[in-house]
Amino acid sequence: MPPSNQPLAGQVALVTGSSRGIGFAIARKVGRLGAAVSLCARHSGPLEAARRTLVEEGISAVATQTDLTQKEQVERLVEETRRQLGDIDIAVNNAGIGWFGPLHEASEADWDRVIDTNLKAPFLLLRSVVPHMIRRRSGHVIQIASLAGKNAFAGGGIYCASKWGLLGMSYAAAEDLRGYGIRTSVICPGSVLTEFSSPAGKDPNKMLQPDDVAHVVEMILLQQTQSFISEISIRPAQKP
C-alpha cells in the first residue's frame, strides 16, 4: 500500500497543457500525491521550466513538447511517457484555447483551431491511452471542460461548441469504458484566474484559482474504487 501522504505513489499521470495555469497546478498536485508526472505543451521553454520546478520539489517529472492536434505527436507523447515512466494510470485532458466574438465573424481557421485543440486533441489522447488501460483493466481519464459547456454566452459560440462536444464525448466514453474498470470524469469550472481567462471587469480575488481545480482532481482520484464521480461543476464562492 502507498503511504497515506502519497496515495498515488507508483502511478503515472499524463497532464496536457501543463506548463502553466490549471495544467501545472494539476501536475503539481498529483506529483505531491506521489504520482510520476508527464508534462506536455506546445512551447519548449515554459514546459522545461515547469518540469524543473517540479523536479526541484522532489516530484518525478518528464516533459515532451507536443502539438496535441497532431495524431503522430500525441502517439509519440504517450509512448515517450510509457518508455520513461511506465504505463499511464491517469490521463488529464486540460489543454484548451478560446476564440471569442460573434460566431458569424469567425473564420474557418478560428473554428478549426479551437475545435481541434479543445475537442479533437482529447479524442486523440483518449484513443492513444485507453487501449493500454483496457489491457490492465484500470485507469482514470479526467476532462477539464467548462461551465461554458452548459451555459451559452454572447461571443462564445466556438468555445461553447467545443466544450459542449467534450461533455458529450466524455459521457459516452464513460459508458464505453466503465466495464473495463476505467473511470471517466469531467470537471466544469467557471472562470479561473489564468493567462487564458482575463479578469477584465472582474475582481481577480473572487475568481477561481488553478489550485481550486487541482483540488477537485485530487477528490476525484481518491474516490473509492467501487464508484466514480462522473461530473463536478465548480464556481467561485462569490461572483467576481
Cell readout for 230 is 462522473
Beta-bridge mates of residue 64? 40
CA 126, CA 138: separation in Å to the nearest integer?
14
Catalytic residue among 36, 159, 194, 221: 159
- Of residues 162, 21, 142, 18, the one with CA closest to residue 81: 18
| CB-based contacts of 114, cutoff 8 Å, min separation 6 | 97, 98, 99, 158, 159, 162
- Whether 180 is catalytic is no
What positions carry a catalytic annotation? 159
